[in-house]
Structure 1
């Protein structure tokens, strides 16, 4: 099954050589699950010609806000709506989670409660899964028809399901601990409060639930659709 990765940002230059860019991280996360990948740098205005060019689409995270004025935002929203209409499955992670909600009528805002950084636990229907997070923006108003499938006290809409059309997650299952540490060094200073980063750093190290989220993503892509 061919999955098109719609890349909406780049990992920091200083980290990219060692840890890879976002498409590399998703290829590692989803390895061994019968998926192959092709990346499109939509942030650089490289879009697929058609929503049927791949069997499914995955929208990555980004340092940009969905509500900001960037050339790729409007055409990406159009692509999301076209894929939904054509029943081509979509997965969105962090920014991808937010842009899918926004494209379908939801609202994304900078959250007044601050940042979620590092290992963060979410309730997936009674199953507690812990994965790395890196965000301040959140989906604050869900689109019509979006079902909450994960949440916690900090993020009400932590994962959303749109029937068999889209599955989206606010956290970053593709971020390994080393990358979170790198983000704290390269993008966190002066942006994320020092005490928030210090608390997150204490939690890094133990195994997390990224593989369980990867299974859910792969299962969603492979779900039978009429």
Structure 2
């Protein structure tokens, strides 16, 4: 399967020794996929006819930022044929919701950091029998209104719309970061330190990242979704 990874951000400069978000996403998918990265911030766009699936990475940007590439990305997503497989992670989740009739914004509950648990609220055929998943997160924004007809597959009191399956198109998105390895999640959390103004939040987040996580499980769901 040929997958276009729409790169909407990269690790902060202080963490540039880590792989790019496009590379992390390709690693999450594993072998068997022909992945090509496109830096949409620089005006790089794939030919929709040349790819069977598209994955949108995370980004430090917000969907509400007045950046031309974000408007271009929304237009690109809306123009995709509905049978093209589409996956969004964090910012990708938020911009997909915006593109298809929902809303994402800065959350009133503040920063989501560390390992967050989502309860499974509906079960798609590509999922297993897990009752909940715990996956690293790093976000201030989140989906506050899901698109019409979208089904909430997983969420929490902090993030009610944590994983969405979309109506009338082959699309799946998640607020969490299954592509983040724990070492990167810890480094990114520490990098947020000065902006948090809450040392206790950072310490709780770092401590939570020592627990077992379900990134591989969520990655498996994404792969089975793509294969369906």
TM-score, structure 1 as length reference: 0.92
Shift of 1:86: 4.2
Question: Counterpart of 2:132?
Answer: 128
Aligned residues of 2:94 and 2:175 also touching (Cα < 8 A): yes
Shift of 1:98: 0.4
Distance in 2 between residues matched to 1:193 and 1:71, nearest whole Å: 33
Question: Counterpart of 1:81?
Answer: 78
Structural mapping, 1:44-193, within 5 Å: 44-48=42-46, 50-83=47-80, 85-125=81-121, 127-163=131-167, 164-191=169-196, 193=198
In structure 2, the residue corresponding to 1:199 is in which secondary structure? Answer: helix
Aligned residues of 1:121 and 1:130 also touching (Cα < 8 A): yes
Aligned residues of 1:51 and 1:79 also touching (Cα < 8 A): no
Q: Please, what is the CA RMSD of the aligned residues?
A: 1.5
Aligned residues of 1:105 and 1:144 also touching (Cα < 8 A): yes
Distance in 2 between residues matched to 1:174 and 1:44, nearest whole Å: 23
Distance in 1 between residues matched to 2:74 and 2:195, nearest whole Å: 31
Paired residue total: 219
Question: Counterpart of 1:31?
Answer: 30
Is 2:30 the partner of 1:43? no
Question: Counterpart of 2:125?
Answer: none
Question: Counterpart of 1:216?
Answer: 221
Where structure 1 has 5 or more consecutive residues not aligned to the other structure, the ranges are none
Of the structure 1 ranges 97-106 and 181-190, higher mean CA displacement relative to structure 2 is found in 181-190
Distance in 1 between residues matched to 2:193 and 2:164, nearest whole Å: 27
Aligned residues of 2:114 and 2:189 also touching (Cα < 8 A): no
Deviation readout 1:107-126 (Å, 9 max, x if unpaired) = 11111111110111111236
Distance in 1 between residues matched to 2:177 and 2:136, nearest whole Å: 5
In structure 1, the residue corresponding to 2:159 is in which secondary structure? Answer: coil
Is 2:12 the partner of 1:8? no
Distance in 2 between residues matched to 1:211 and 1:188, nearest whole Å: 27
